[in-house]
Amino acid sequence: MRTRQLRQLAPVLLRSVRWQPTVAGAGIAAVVLVVRRDHLAHSAQAVLVLRVVALLLAVGLAFALDDRSRRTVQSVPAPAWWRAAGQVSVALVPALAAWIAALGWVSTRTGDLPVLGLSLEAAALAAVGLALAAGLVRWRELLDPGAVAGPALLVSGLMTAQLPDRVALVVGPGPAWAAAHLRWSALLAAAVAVLLLAVRDPAARPWLRR
């Protein structure tokens, strides 16, 4: 049944999903990497540049749930989360490829790079953007939530650098790194929870009653 649903949805998703903002974000990230290439030998600069890359990719990915054909595909017998997963997957491929390429390129120019920590930050930013977009679709019925979620994520991402030390997210490798990444993990978990709630089929039974 799932295979048949996927065959029905795939052509519509490939035509309707806005993967272009993700590719555009990857392009801008590539420009940032090239412009700052002479500074990547310094670990702090390399971390900063990769954080900018992660934010750009996450902003582009926030447009993945834009779908003017949403009312059309509602006639396909597939749950809401199945459609959302297909949409995100289409845009996630170029975003993931760009992130891996950026990590590899920067790693050749700097020494000790905290790849896992930075990838956690990138995943959290992407999840927050998708959760915002999915929430706007579910509770505000927007067909193009990326126009709101993308800029909101960009501003929020830039503002994280201004958080006080006790709740800081943007820190350099050092004593505060582990605590900051526990907070990133909590942010990722919260964003995933909101995302799952937002894409859940409205007709499904409440989880607590199962």
Amino acid, single-letter form, for residue 37: R
Domain boundaries, the chain: 2-201
CA–CA distance from 104 to each of 11, 50, 120 (Å)?
33, 11, 16
Please tell me the distance from the alpha carbon of residue 126 to that of residue 135, in angstroms, as a whole number: 14
Q: What digits encode the pLDDT tens for the residues 56-83? A: 999 999 999 997 665 555 555 566 777 7
Residues 6+ apart with CB under 8 A from 69: 12, 15, 16
Q: How far apart are CA 53 and CA 30, in angstroms?
A: 8
Q: What is the pLDDT of residues 159-193, one digit of tens each?
A: 999 999 999 999 999 999 999 999 999 999 999 99
Q: pLDDT for 146-165, tens place per residue? A: 999 999 999 999 999 999 99
Prediction pTM value: 0.88
Q: Give dist(CA 158, CA 153) in Å, integer.
A: 8
Question: Residue 7: is its pLDDT beyond 90?
Answer: no
